[in-house]
Amino acid sequence: MAAKLLSTGFRHSTLPENYVRPLSDRPRLSQVSQLEDFPLIDISSTDRSRLVQKIHQACARFGFFQVINHGVSKATIDEMVSVAHEFFGMPMDEKMKLYSDDPTKTPRLSTSFNVKEEEVNNWRDYLRLHCYPIDKYVHEWPSNPPSFKEVVSKYSREIRELGLKIEELISESLGLEKDYMKKVLGEQGQHMAVNYYPPCPEPELTYGLPAHTDPNALTILLQDATVCGLQILIDGHWFAVNPRPDAFVINIGDQLQALSNGVYKSVWHRAVTNTENPRLSIASFMCPDNGAVISPAKPLWEAKEEEAKPIYRDYTYAEYYKKFWSRNLDQEHCLENFLND
């Protein structure tokens, strides 16, 4: 049975069967640890070489880090969060105007991950938007709440600046030219997922989002300031990434793992639910141009002695994205389909 929106205001007292995971695939929340040394990076630092070094360590070890003093204003963030809450709080008939279970459609309000294909559903509703170039997409965005377009435009613009700045730092941290990513990734797209995880009656039996890696280049996540839910897999163990209200969580996507020839990791992560509070998260995805050819950066393997070689074959982002959406979210790492022999 295909799931419909969860954000109805109705509080379930037991978990509907279509959300119950098999025993072998449950969150085991009591076994999740706190990550004490999760990297926190002040990207306003003027000590560029130290900053670049910190980015390198974070990307190589965790594939994830948090940034503070990121240049996105507090007002922009607060307005984005409140318009997102307002959006999910609208009456069902207003929201259903945007509902679709077709993953190729944007904008769309949907639920779970890919409802038509899945066997078990996920405890999440989400609004998916294309955000760049804004002028091309803004007209198709929701017109309710009335401030939606203005607020989301402002947020997306500021996030893009941050994303491009981080891509420069990441390029440098690999010993590449500052504008390496910018050149290779072409005219980058920007997508947004506004995720809404309602309180869940049985968080031990299901996921908000099951373990996955992000198929794009770089993800900039605004976590709910107070409600925990994001977890990442490090050395085979799940760790919670607790929210910091002044920080964005940044993670390496599959494309940067490929470009870095595996030096940086696109790490498995998931979102879990809780019984008490709804959780909101806003993910912004920097995506290579569809025609961009992704290949391990030459300077990372060419000059090396011995048998250093590109781990991944060349492919276009369009080819990758198609492969990604043809799978289940929690299957093998999608990059494994693009290994060199």
Hey, CA dihedral for 14, 226, 114, 254, is it positive or negative? negative
Residues at the interface with Ni ion (CB under 5 A): 214
Helix/strand/coil for 24: helix
Nearer to Ni ion, 87 or 207 (CB): 207
From candidates 151, 193, 194, 220, binder to ligand OGA by CB under 6 A: 193
In the chain, which ranges are continuous DSSP H helix? 48-61, 74-88, 92-96, 134-137, 148-173, 180-185, 254-259, 317-325
Site membership for ligand OGA, residue 229 (CB under 6 A): yes
Is 194 one of the binding residues for ligand OGA (CB under 6 A)?
no
| Token code pair at residue 147 | 């401030």
- 32, amino acid identity: V
Question: Which of the ranges 46-54, 104-112, 158-166, 221-229 carries the binding residues for ligand OGA, by CB under 6 A?
Answer: 221-229
Distance separating alpha carbons of residues 7 and 154, to the nearest angstrom: 26
Q: Which is nearer to ligand OGA, 193 or 217 (CB)?
A: 193
How far is the first Cα of the chain from the last one, in angstroms, to the nearest whole number?
41
Mask 270-309, x = binds ligand OGA (CB under 6 A)?
Answer: -x---------x-x--------------------------
d(CA 126, CA 140): 16
Ramachandran area for residue 75 (φ above 0: left; ψ -120 to 50: alpha; else beta): alpha
**214 is an interface residue for ligand OGA by CB under 6 A:** yes
> Considering beta carbons, is residue 111 or 195 the nearer one to ligand OGA?
195
Per CB under 6 A, does 213 bind ligand OGA?
Answer: no
Tell me the three state secondary structure of residue 124.
coil
Q: Are 327 and 290 in contact (CB under 8 A)?
A: no
Least Å distance, CB 75 to ligand OGA, is 23
**CB under 6 A: which stretch of 80-88, 111-119, 223-231, 321-329 binds ligand OGA?**
223-231
Q: In the complex with ligand OGA, which residue's Cβ is closer, 176 or 193?
A: 193
Binding site for ligand OGA (CB under 6 A): 193, 195, 209, 214, 221, 223, 229-230, 269, 271, 281, 283
